[in-house]
Amino acid sequence: MVSAPLQRDQQGQTHELWQRFKLQLSFYPFVDRKDLIDAVSGINDMSPRGPEFADDTLLEPEMT
């Protein structure tokens, strides 16, 4: 079995992000920190779009 890469948090402690997510999810909704669950659920709220390119003619100032 391949292990997930370790992540380092703000305090310098290492952990597996997937393991922390599973732990938070197992105690949901009674867990005190839901930040990881909120971050993952935000992926469904996104509406991905391709890059938008400006029309080059609109970037030039009008000459009067």
27-44 mean pLDDT: 77
**pLDDT over threshold 70, residue 21:** yes
Residue 33 and residue 24 in contact, taking contact as beta carbons nearer than 8 Å: yes
Tell me the average pLDDT of the chain.
75
Q: Which helix (H) or strand (E) holds 43?
A: helix 35-45
In a domain, 25, yes or no: yes
| Residues contacting 34, CB < 8 A, separation 6+ | 24, 28
pTM across the whole model: 0.44
| Residues contacting 14, CB < 8 A, separation 6+ | 6, 7, 8
**What pLDDT, on the 0 to 100 scale, is given for residue 7?**
76
Domain span holding position 25:
1-41
**pLDDT over threshold 70, residue 30:** yes
Closest alpha carbon to 24 in 40, 9, 4: 40
In a domain, 18, yes or no: yes
In a domain, 12, yes or no: yes
In a domain, 27, yes or no: yes
Count of domains observed in the chain: 1
